Structure 1
């Protein structure tokens, strides 16, 4: 009997990558909180996850090094966020408190996905050993 890692790991194998990319985006927002003219960005997690899982089902692959990787386009799809605070006069739309909250929430969900994957691998390992 063969083991399908796609079936065994489910969507969690994709959530880790999408959450990591979102963490990069949110960290960039925080790093540029005082940069004049900087516009806060974010990734639509659900849309990026749907794209990542549908790409995995289709099985897209690059047959030539000059081809564009579909995953880099999907994961890199950043959108500008609608400002939640009044204009500060310098064109910067970063709300530091909001960014910190979003970063923390994303970090918690990232860790939850890692923990879930860890338990899945542990159970698969037990099954292979016959424990």
Structure 2
């Protein structure tokens, strides 16, 4: 029922949350030697999710390692400015999706109450 009610937005919210966790891990490991920054290809993960994969396998299949512009000598591929920008962009998209879903829930709640 939630697929029909929330459409693509429920899946998008789950994937955005998973991407947020991955970007947070990248930022937290910015000084860890040998750490390889990862990100989720959101479009690929969402397509996979909408064609029947569960959220975990859809996100796992869309994980990509970042290719650094300026590789560090210790093998760490986190470029803090890029990670922070990706985090901010994802946070805005997460908030927009969440606001849409809240509006949908409020509409359904009003319909159930007969308002």
TM-score with structure 1 setting the length: 0.80
Q: Which runs of 4+ in 1 moved over 6 A?
A: none
Flag the 1:5–1:37 CA change in 2: closer, same or farther, 3 A.
closer
**2:81 — aligned with what?**
97
Structure with more relative contact order (C-alpha pairs < 8 Å, separation 6 or more)? 1
What RMSD in Å do the two structures reach over aligned CA positions?
A: 1.5
> Which protein is bigger by CA-based radius of gyration?
1
Matched, 1:17 2:14: yes
Aligned with 2:59 (options 69, 72, 75): 75
Residue ranges of structure 1 left out of the alignment (5+ in a row): 57-69
How far the C-alpha of 1:94 sits from its partner, in A, is 0.5
Distance 1:107 1:129 in 2: 33
| Contact 2:11–2:55 (8 Å) recurs in 1 | no
Aligned with 2:39 (options 22, 39, 42): 42
How far the C-alpha of 1:71 sits from its partner, in A, is 3.7
How far the C-alpha of 1:129 sits from its partner, in A, is 1.5
